Amino acid sequence: MFAIRAYQLIDGTGKEPLRNALIMIEGERIVSVGTVAEVDVPPDVMCLDTGVSTVMPGMVDCHVHVHSTGGPMSGTLYQVDQVSHSQGFLALRAARNAMEDLKSGFTTVRSLGSPAYVDIALRDAIRQGLLQGPRMRAAGQGLTITGGHMDPGVWAPEVNVFGRTGVGDGPWGCRKAAREQIKNGADVLKINAAVSRYSLKYESVAPFHQEMTYEEMRAICEEAHWGGLRVAAHAHGGHGITDAIQAGVDSFEHAPWLTDEQVDQMAERGCFYVPTLITHTRALDLGPDRPGTSPELWNWFLKVEEDRWASFDRARRAGVRIAVGTDAGFLVYHGENARELCELVRGGFTPMEAIVAATRTGAECLGMEDEIGTIEPGKYADIVVIAGDPLADISILTDKTKITHVFKGGVRVK
């Protein structure tokens, strides 16, 4: 048993911070929380006094790709990178990337697609104590249609890249692909509902199109929900999102073109929104001259910038539950996950709302709210100590030197 003393405690629920707080931890779990005057500390118990620091729950990133490191070239070479290295190399790199997430204060991540089930293997190795890393939800291979977003025509027809993605066509083909992921250990399914269209030479062309049919998405959602799994949908806009809502999708990733009707339906059905705002901001920061950025793709990013903030505000006002996700591994490096909280504040959240999105709401999105996301008795002692006040300046969470301690299950990992 040991204790952590906090000048300021943000518990992840959205309540006002607790000053001069004490957290008692036994084994992996929190046993009591309160002020120093309220919590009795036995004389033989070690107490970590964090000084003038803020203590908060370990954060949750609901959208990463652990096998890919991220950075300016990752958007261009994402497909090539998967076949330029052995599966063993990808797994070792995934372990390193996940540790970067953990050391930056993200004690839980959801990996939405890796080739050759790399993320499932990493999740299992962490659970078995073979190596250190964050708690993980893993999708294995993302699900797509033939020639879809995750099955692009990158290679010559005679080239077959094994294990890159799960492909299904028609309701029964998609049902089989879903069963294949569940068989191989996925605990969340990733689908592609409504994907980007980059040919914006003409204003009449929508920047998105539907990939999977309602019947295909419904089949996948049925298989997932029968097995107690959730479904996350890569989605940009249009009727594909409406069909995905009706089909039973649990969370929508990216989605810069949401309508009033769609956000009302999402709120009514309890769907989550993971906007991954930092990915588009990073693309804009890198500019049109980034290798692989065609004029059409750059025009698409500009269109996203015009509309994404309106969609975010629309979802926020409708009461849709918004969770933090970065798409780390694609343009965004692992370890800079907290930049998404700055984006949420830029979009209209208060710093406290952004922290809740990265803690309690993230845990709810993953179905882990009984175990993580808030600092409460009975939950895992996943705790971050920050030298400063993120409520005064949310960007302090992006400074790794200010993340002085990270605990996962009561064990100090930084």
Residues 21, 127 within the same domain: no
Residues 144, 238 within the same domain: yes
CA distance 322 to 273: 5
CB neighbours of residue 409 within 10 Å: 18
pLDDT at 84: 74
Domain presence at residue 102: yes
pLDDT at 147: 82
Residues 250, 307 within the same domain: yes
- Please say whether the dihedral angle defined by the alpha carbons of residues 302, 321, 118 and 215, taken in this order, is positive or negative: negative
Structure tokens at 102: 């953990």
Strands 135-138 and 59-64: unpaired
User: Can you give the CATH number for the domain in which 115 is found?
Assistant: 3.20.20.140
Residues ≥6 apart with Cβ < 8 Å to 178? 143, 166, 168, 189, 219, 220, 223, 224
Return the half-sphere exposure (C-beta side, CA atoms, 13 A cut-off) of residue 245.
Answer: 22
Domain presence at residue 89: yes
Domain presence at residue 120: yes
Q: Provide the 3-class DSSP secondary structure of residue 331.
A: coil
Residues 158, 140 within the same domain: yes
User: Can you give the CATH number for the domain in which 27 is found?
Assistant: 2.30.40.10
Domain presence at residue 197: yes
Are 207 and 257 spatial neighbours (Cβ–Cβ below 8 Å)?
yes
Return the half-sphere exposure (C-beta side, CA atoms, 13 A cut-off) of residue 195.
Answer: 17
The last residue of one of the domains, among 308, 337, 366, is 337
Residues 208, 310 within the same domain: yes
Residues 69, 132 within the same domain: yes
Which residue stretches of the chain have pLDDT < 50? none
pLDDT at 77: 64
pLDDT tens profile 95-139 = 999 999 999 999 999 999 999 999 999 999 999 999 999 999 999
pLDDT at 104: 98
Domain presence at residue 348: no
Domain presence at residue 166: yes
The last residue of one of the domains, among 337, 360, 393, is 337
Residues 206, 231 within the same domain: yes
Residues 46, 90 within the same domain: no
Residues 81, 117 within the same domain: yes
Q: What pairs with residue 254 in β-bridges? A: 235
Domain presence at residue 20: yes
Residues 186, 44 within the same domain: no
Domain presence at residue 324: yes
Residues 215, 296 within the same domain: yes
Residues 178, 214 within the same domain: yes
To 5 degrees, how large is the angle CA 53–CA 334–CA 146? 145
Q: Count how many domains the chain has.
A: 2
The last residue of one of the domains, among 291, 310, 337, is 337
Parent domain of 113: 59-337
Residues ≥6 apart with Cβ < 8 Å to 60? 106, 107, 108, 109, 110, 323, 324, 358, 359, 362, 363, 365, 366, 368, 372, 373
